[in-house]
Structure 1
């Protein structure tokens, strides 16, 4: 935990103003409550700011800039929360204070913020040109280290915690199950979260990782929120059970019926997904689409968990998209005559089939289709809501924006990641060097026609993996698309190409596949290809 210091005036009297030092940056904590109130903190904020700026001027430490540093705005790009330029840092201290007071209140959490006006005593970060240690800078500023537990000063407000939606919580659970560490979080002491496969995870680590993802990978530490309360409520809302240490873990739901809830299609073998997992996905999908549309357009509903009655309800009366677990993925059903007329042609294009059956065939002709992966479910839900489905380029642009908004990256790190996401820069150059400047399969040497394709998906990779040239292959555009959509994969040890059952013999002949990798993959390349192969196997039509 960073040391908190109290500002002192020229007579060494303590002011009710607190600051921290992060390398060469000074962080002035925000004011809370009115002076005289029991819970008021940092009531000498304005005076403390002037004292710090005056001391910097007196000891000739340059001010390089300042930014609002409140948790609610840390996901914004730096230029959107900048309140002082480097040239303005040479102004007199009282003039800088005046500028900051006028500009701080104009920095809000986003374009949809409901705040009416703003306050001028928010937490701010002041960058300096000091080259010594943090402790030395604090001493030169006359700060007195405070003793005791000051974690409550770092607690994030409820509006920020609620950004950890079910989708982020589910991703966090999967990443922790796959071995990812939640930095700064240790084992649980009192409670456990029960994952889909029955394993137990530390609830606070799950929530911390989910919140970090929701805030653009902003570092989240245990001090930023408390266990229990809203944290546990949000974990439960995502569909997970929280139990006391040593409590009896809940067993996976085994009561799923063996039929389509509105028909009689028998599912003889076990389902690949349980109903609770699909429920969480449907709730997250509704949140995603409503956010895209900017209004509550669709609503998830659970009519009967035992009979798998989970659906999305749209704005048009009587229309309902059923999303249920099936033997090898999902079943998508259309409810309502108007929806059938509107979406049946789309479902035929999505699946390549007229239908897989009818629900209530003797009463109403409501068609349903089996699909193998969540991407198809997501695309169907966007069509149901009348929303534009994001193409690969849109998702790439969103990833680039997310990188630009990350405050934990240096400019060089930010540029490297953006270039890697675009398949350019050092990442592309090093990958091409590994393959002698040629396509890894065809040997094509026209480098402008080659795409640096990641093997482990960008969204699931760490920053190190995103920049690792072994995480992917240089491929022609067609092969890149096949590889990205898990229509082809490569045996990690040999480089032999495997082809999805969805590509028939005619298509294989046109594409000129199978064709193996030109080199045997290295151990590092094989590790990434194995992850891709596992995903390929889960996408195969069985």
Structure 2
């Protein structure tokens, strides 16, 4: 008995069909094969464990002998792969030597995961793990042994999403993903650098979340990051972003106060698809600290629009300021405004006062300021809504 005696492509087709019918985990368990770590058959938009399929296909052709066990034949290029290719099947290697090869591999994985979705759009945990989209369900999956061949820091492959985000941090178009904090600084830094490497190399990652016994998976691209707030910007798309937000570029482009922004309802919450990007760019420009209250805890600071989203304001960071959450609410309620000429906070005559609002620095003192047009628009709106100011 030897794998070279597998000569019937129809037998391979039957093994592929059984794999699909049973599911990969049950298929491998029945025939005592482990998940592939390197070679896969790519067939009709799906990936299959090459050695397991070949061993089972042998049994379909040679019914008296039955399937070959994993110890009865060799996998890899010298044996199994050569046989499968001779029968007309495509065998792919996940040990990428170049960025282009790795990108092609990840897109094959994505095609496989999409094709294996159930009616709810979910896949099994084994479907995710068996193709290497995720390896350990605790945060960032790097697969260092494989990806360090294309980048010395390794390259992030999968990101666990817990669902514990504010509405504006996760939408149908993207998400803000928090840096890992596990108590192992060196390990956390390695995962952060590997995620940045995915952005720099324009390699997609898989954002994965638990839904009961199943997994939701999205194809994503790391669009940028901000180190002080410990945030990555992740975009859900079939194509990589045009540029990476790794520094503030706001002064390099013409300013636009108005923007075409879409808003969606998710239950009782209004979701702004590009709010995550706006927050990252505002933090990049000003830092994740509130210049009026002095609060510098990133989790307490938000990106406030000057010309509001509901009023057609753009997502240009010069149309925004970082503010602590309470001041942001007060700002949107027009309890105060910033004079565009003096850069000083003004409050309503009837209150609340600066002290009551928690404003300890009433004049903007930032290395980079919002655009004058944005401050002026907001100030004019405020004057229309209030009486004489103090």
Alignment TM-score > 0.5, same fold = no
Larger relative contact order, structure 1 or 2 (CA cutoff 8 Å, min sep 6): 2
TM-score (norm 2): 0.29
